[in-house]
Structure 1
Amino acid sequence: MSNNFLQNITPAELAALVNLKPFDEDVFVQSLYADINNAIKHIEKTADKYYSDDEDKITNLLVLFLKGVGYNASEQTKSNGSVDITVQDRDQSFTWLAEAKRGNSYNGVFEGMLQLVTRYISDEKHAGFFIYHQKLDSLSYFKNWFSYLSSGDFEKYKAISDRLDECRYHFKKSPIANAFTGDECYFDYNIVSKKGKEVKVRNFILSLHYNPADKSGRENKSLKVGQAKIYVNEVCDKWFREQEPPEDIDKFMNSLQLVFPELFE
């Protein structure tokens, strides 16, 4: 730095230069996670608006929130496919990727994790995974998802039988970095990237169940349609992923008629 430059700089500018700090990925990630937790709390308080929405609408809401608090966040960016959520620092020297799935069958949710781990992640040290849970008891669901990953239950998923060695490479049994937190909305899970590096994937859950049992709720037609959508989506996911047909075919057909009345005209 030349003397001429120092002579022309103001005291305020010099102070700013002195206080410049190198980018700290861990600090950035912890700040990001704090803001995500805040976003989750806000979204859960308005679950009546999102209780039956698809993944894209809820993901869009999360991205808008992150943009609103100053992050360079985007949806469906390209990284060996379309990544649900991408967050970068101001200089774009750091990238955080995340995938999102609705909380139906664990095998179906695992498909989202497979996308994140075997397709999108490359050099990242941190990544994220969101579960949008639209039914009762999200805590039990999340604990079971924790067990599904850490105990190796994913190995029973028939669809990955010809990729089992690859899955075992990426997903180790009992690889939990941190157990459940006090607010029960996240846990960390360590995977191995394609390059052999450890990546800490933070799993988040959004509890979006909304089905009020008061008189207004019981008589709300749009609420009945929304709950029918959730039920049909869950049943079809289990039917497809786990070869489990509907236990109550009458309920399934009645729900289909509520969601798609034009098919029954």
Structure 2
Amino acid sequence: MRLLKQLGTVFVITLVGSQAIAAVEGSWLLTLLLGALTAGLALAGYAWVVRRTERRAPTEVGRAGAGSATGRGVLLGVLMFGVVIACIALTGGYRVEGWGSATVALGLIGFTAATAVTEELAFRGVLFRVVEERAGTWGALALTAVLFGAMHLANPDATVWGAVAIAIEAGGMLGAAYAATRTLWLPIGLHAGWNFAAAGIFGTEVSGSDAPQGLLEGVMSGPVLLSGGAFGPEGSLFAVLAGAALTVVFLRLARRRGRIVPARRRADRTPVTTSV
């Protein structure tokens, strides 16, 4: 019941926000504002439902250190994508055909913020935490990574390989980032920075979706394994390797901080009964 209430709250806000953003397509200012509003409402809604269902303060979205952690995440996400796109370009899989639109890029800030916040709340804030209580960190990491990758199969240019790549490079990395920090701010920043770099800066596809191009008009070509093909750079082997490397770094950090939660044994899950 707790899982359904928390996911339901995030889902309703996500649905309303996405519909509102789609309705103002073409207006960069309204996209920016509605995206920011959706992200803010989703965070507030998540905090509210966690207080109601768990009777605790939602420290994973607490204000302490939120700005700095999110900023580090954004910077790391942009740098990570920059390294990946540089590797693809060096193998002839990416080129720039011209300049895009600065106003479209500004609108994409709101769009990517809404996407990053709502998806991280659902997958790491709700699913990862709930699964981890029973299956431990490793079980939660595996399940949420698979579900996160599978979700992207609904995108227009989705491929099975693309979904597998997303599961490894993003599902694993973002879950590990949460495990290492126990807040959602770093995963949110990473998610937003990566997506904005892809569409807002380098003008590429994002997870097989038809995202508008931002500052640059980018063109992908060459072998799908290296460039990602129509799915975008996230389907590239370079992205998989980069995401996997960061996953290992975050998991080692989580272990060093004592934040790896073991799976509960069957005996631990058996209700304790008393006789009268």
Higher relative contact order (CA 8 A, sep 6+): 2
- Compare the two structures and name the one with the higher helix fraction: 2
> TM-score by structure 1 length?
0.30
> TM-score by structure 2 length?
0.29
| Max Rg structure | 1
